[in-house]
Amino acid sequence: MALVGQRNSELVLIAALPTGVIAAAKKAVPPADLRDGYRREHDAWAGLFQRPAAEKLIRGGLEAGAQTRDGERNLEGLLRALEIEVVNPLIRIFQD
């Protein structure tokens, strides 16, 4: 009987979570077949690399030595030093 009461309490706590938390948790749980998740992750990353600013950043980073020992030790500094204009798409939305 105590387990039933505990289970009900847990359900009440879960139901009280803010909107979106349960959906996010479900997305975080790996499915039995990981191929679909790998495919979604690949597609998401590929979409990012198709952006001109990302390509410039990646190419500039490689040219500046991002894949060297020193470059990897200071990757953030190396990439921040590149003079590449990266425009946040949200800024465009609010400026229009």
Let me know: does 64 contact 82? Beta carbons within 8 Å. yes
**Per-residue pLDDT tens over the stretch 32-76:** 788 888 888 888 888 777 778 788 888 889 999 999 999 999 988
Q: Return d(Cα 68, Cα 54) in angstroms, integer.
A: 20
The pLDDT, as a whole number, for residue 72 is 92
The pLDDT, as a whole number, for residue 71 is 92
Give the pair of three-digit tokens for residue 37: 């998740």
Q: Return d(Cα 47, Cα 80) in angstroms, integer.
A: 22
The model's confidence at residue 93, banded by pLDDT at 50, 70 and 90, is: very low
- As a whole number of Å, the end-to-end CA separation of the chain is 60
> CB-side exposure of 7: number of CA atoms within 13 Å?
4
Grouping H, G, I as helix, E, B as strand and the rest as coil, residue 49 is helix
Q: Which residue has the higher pLDDT, 2 or 54?
A: 54
